[in-house]
Structure 1
Amino acid sequence: MKREETIDHNIKTAWHAISRMYNQQAVKQDITTSIGFVLLNISSKEGTPATKIAPLMGLEARSLTRVLKNMEDKGLIYRQPDANDKRSVRIFLTEKGKERKGFSRKTVLAFNEAVREHIPEDKLKIFFEVIGDINRIIEKSNIYENEKP
């Protein structure tokens, strides 16, 4: 089987193209794609518990630590103890963070709109079903369980 015929190659290639496209837009606002996605996962009104952001994005908590520090240094977010649970910290957007979140949202919506203009809804429905199936296979199966090292 050729590399171009493998499922993972096609998913990775598509994601890298999307990521490059998003980064080209993000750099105009002095952010990265990663920062843009974090901004989209922080509530503009109530903030978001720091421990909830990584799972919302499908990341490990430690992967997010450096991004949050960078965002704080850029003046996009600030941390505050949770009003109900003092052991927890909530992440809030600054005004600058809210502006960059709006930009990130417009960028994602523009991409989705462009895709929907060119790909019929019935094809997109199948795409979402297949991606969902692939995620379930990854989550539930032990495809390498019987392999020897």
Structure 2
Amino acid sequence: MKSNEFTIDYHLRSTWLAVQKMFNEQAAQFNSTMVMGFTLLSIDPKSGTPSTSLGPKMGIEPTSLSRTLKNLEERGLIARKPNPEDGRSVLIILTDEGLKMRDVSKQVVLKFNEAINEKITAEEMSIFLKVIQKVNSITSDKKLFNKNKEPQF
């Protein structure tokens, strides 16, 4: 099978794995991971973020988020405080060190975006984003696999 014959999921997966590897290599220089950096970027730097909204915001499972938050807390990058708005939930707050690491993560993401924008024209990016939006729309179609008949295995 030639590379252009691979299915779309192959191209999506291999591209994402390459991006993930690149971000993890950068994060490793700071004894961190891509997920830790993404978590720091997902926390509001001024007012913090309710722990219950982080998982959905990031698109990760609660157990994975819990493990990541525990790791960030042990490293002194975040703190948990009662949410003053409801008293029951917990706010995740960035510490001074967490704010520094968040800035490092932000710079890495911006550098990658800058490199992409240097190599990909505005027209190509527009087409790419339209295609990605369509792919996302297709993947969220709950009837996708029930339209005609059950798959034959």
Q: TM-score range by the shorter chain?
A: over 0.9
1:76-106 CA distance string (max 9 Å, x none): 1010010111111000001111111000000
3-state SS in 2 of match to 1:31: coil
* Residue number in structure 2 paired with 1:147: 150
- TM superposition score normalised by structure 2: 0.91
Task: Give unpaired runs (5+ residues) of structure 2.
Answer: none
CA distance in 2, matches of 1:91, 1:117: 36
Give the paired residue count. 149
- TM superposition score normalised by structure 1: 0.94
1:77 aligns with 2:45: no
CA distance in 2, matches of 1:32, 1:43: 19
Question: % of aligned pairs identical?
Answer: 42
1:30-49 CA distance string (max 9 Å, x none): 11000000000001110000
Offset, 1:61: 2.3
CA distance in 2, matches of 1:141, 1:129: 21
* Residue number in structure 2 paired with 1:38: 39
Paired residues for 1:11-26 under 5 Å: 11-26=12-27
CA distance in 1, matches of 2:70, 2:110: 27
Offset, 1:17: 0.7
* Residue number in structure 2 paired with 1:133: 134
* Residue number in structure 2 paired with 1:87: 88
3-state SS in 1 of match to 2:144: coil
Offset, 1:143: 2.3
Query: RMSD between aligned alpha carbons?
Result: 1.5
Q: Which moved more, 1:51-60 or 1:104-113?
A: 51-60
Offset, 1:147: 1.6
Offset, 1:58: 1.5
Task: Give unpaired runs (5+ residues) of structure 1.
Answer: none
- What amino acid is aligned across from residue 12 of structure 2 in structure 1? I
